[in-house]
């Protein structure tokens, strides 16, 4: 089995109910964060780590997500006819980020089911899973570190982040036996524990690098609450079967599935934008001054 990671699975079939009514007609993955849809950040992150083959697990209502990474020849031609070559080049470059394939999840049956749908596409090689609600703006540093960890240890890796104990009930939580730098050995995963029952404050975040063995374990998982197949159950089995590593990070993540963090991402990334940032910073400073005066 090769230690390099060339493929990724991006589950993108969720209904986005926390952003209704806009997500009634617009996939949540297509909501813009400054000047790009959220899903583009995720694909660019994978591409920055050398992943050139991506499987989107979509739904019948997400055709706009699929179309975003396809060529739009007529639009490109019209832009070039108007002398907007830079815009046309940017659109064409989307199709060259990676080979984006699509499989549709007929009904929502959980994250484990969505990942399992990648088995035929991934085959017998390690692969990454990127959850689009977790927007990582770090130049691919986290994912690259996770891929390097799998190459060194031969085990699957999940991203972990320290959170306040009052927040652990919103996440999967990892018990670890030892830690060397950012890499920890996971001994147990607890799904959304009460703070008093949590084994640590290391919360599971939406980046995974799996060995293909995870597909064998997913095939054994029985549906739980709501008929969903839980990815955590398969990860627990991998801990016992071949070991599991955690990669601890602290910076670069936005939970854009939450309205507050979506707004934070929009503001902070707009401030860093080379064209928009300077004027936007002045606007925010003026707005803050007016708010204080009021």
Statement: residue 1 has pLDDT above 60: no
In a domain, 265, yes or no: no
Q: Is the pLDDT of residue 166 over 90?
A: no
287 within a domain of the structure (yes/no): no
Range of the domain at 76: 7-257
Residue 277 in any domain: the answer is no
Least confident window among 99-103, 106-110, 142-146, 178-182: 106-110
CB–CB of 268/261 below 8 Å?
Answer: no
What is residue 3's predicted lDDT score, i.e. its pLDDT?
45
Q: Cα separation of 234 and 224, whole Å?
A: 13
Mean pLDDT along residues 240-265: 94
Give the count of domains, the chain: 1
Dist CA 101 CA 38 (whole Å)? 18
Could you give the C-alpha distances from 289 to 37, 109, 279, 286, in angstroms and in order?
Answer: 31, 49, 15, 5
Q: With pLDDT > 90 as the criterion, what percentage of the chain qualifies?
A: 72
End-to-end CA distance of the chain: 64
pLDDT in tens, 146-164: 999 999 999 999 999 999 9
pLDDT in tens, 169-200: 888 899 999 889 999 999 999 888 888 888 89
Q: What are phi and psi of 142, to 5 degrees?
A: -60, -55
Strands 183-191 and 244-249 come out as antiparallel
Crossing angle for the helix pair 259-272 and 277-293, to the nearest 10 degrees: 120
The CATH number assigned to the domain holding 64 equals 3.90.550.10
Tokens of 26: 């617009």
Mean pLDDT estimate for the chain? 91
Calculate what percentage of the chain has a pLDDT beyond 70: 98
Which residues, listed in sequence order, are joined to residue 102 by a DSSP beta bridge? 56
Scanning the structure block, which residue is given the tokens 């899973």? Answer: 129
Is 230 contained in some domain? yes
Q: Pinpoint the alpha helices (H) of the chain.
A: 38-48, 63-68, 73-81, 85-94, 111-116, 119-122, 141-153, 213-220, 231-242, 259-272, 277-293
Task: Give the pLDDT confidence score for residue 102 in this predicted structure.
Answer: 93
Query: Between 73-81 and 85-94, two packed helices, what is the crossing angle to 10 degrees?
Result: 160
Q: Is the pLDDT of residue 4 over 80?
A: yes
The answer to whether position 2 is within a domain reads: no
Task: Please check whether residue 286 lies inside any domain of the structure.
Answer: no
Q: Is residue 267 part of a domain?
A: no
Q: Does residue 290 fall inside a structural domain?
A: no
Residue 132: closest CA among 203, 225, 62, 222: 62
């Amino acid at each position: 089995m090769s230690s390099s990671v060339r493929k990724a699975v991006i589950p993108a079939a969720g209904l986005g109910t926390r952003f209704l009514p806009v997500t009634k007609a617009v996939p949540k993955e297509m909501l813009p964060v400054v000047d790009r849809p959220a899903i583009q950040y995720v694909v660019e992150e994978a591409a920055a780590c050398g992943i050139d083959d991506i499987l989107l697990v979509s739904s019948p209502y997400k055709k706009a997500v699929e179309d975003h990474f396809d060529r739009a020849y007529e639009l490109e031609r019209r832009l070039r006819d108007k002398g907007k070559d830079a815009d046309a080049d940017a659109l064409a470059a989307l199709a060259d980020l990676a080979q984006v394939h699509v499989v549709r999840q007929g009904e929502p049956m959980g994250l484990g089911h969505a990942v399992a749908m990648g088995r035929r596409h991934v085959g017998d090689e390690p692969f990454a899973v990127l959850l689009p609600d977790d927007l990582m703006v770090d130049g691919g540093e986290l994912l690259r570190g996770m891929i390097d960890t799998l190459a060194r240890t031969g085990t699957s890796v999940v991203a972990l982040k320290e959170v306040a104990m009052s927040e652990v009930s919103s996440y999967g939580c990892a018990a670890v036996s030892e830690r060397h730098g950012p890499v920890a050995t996971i001994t147990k995963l607890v799904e959304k524990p009460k703070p008093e029952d949590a084994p640590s404050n290391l919360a599971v975040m939406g980046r995974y690098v799996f060995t293909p063995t995870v597909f064998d374990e997913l095939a054994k998982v029985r549906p739980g609450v709501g008929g969903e197949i839980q990815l955590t159950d398969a990860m627990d089995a991998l801990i016992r079967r071949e070991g599991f590593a955690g990669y601890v990070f602290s910076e670069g993540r936005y939970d854009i599935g939450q309205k507050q963090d979506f707004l934070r991402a929009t503001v902070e990334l707009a401030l860093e934008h080379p064209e928009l940032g300077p004027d936007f910073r002045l606007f925010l400073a003026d707005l803050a001054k007016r708010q204080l005066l009021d």
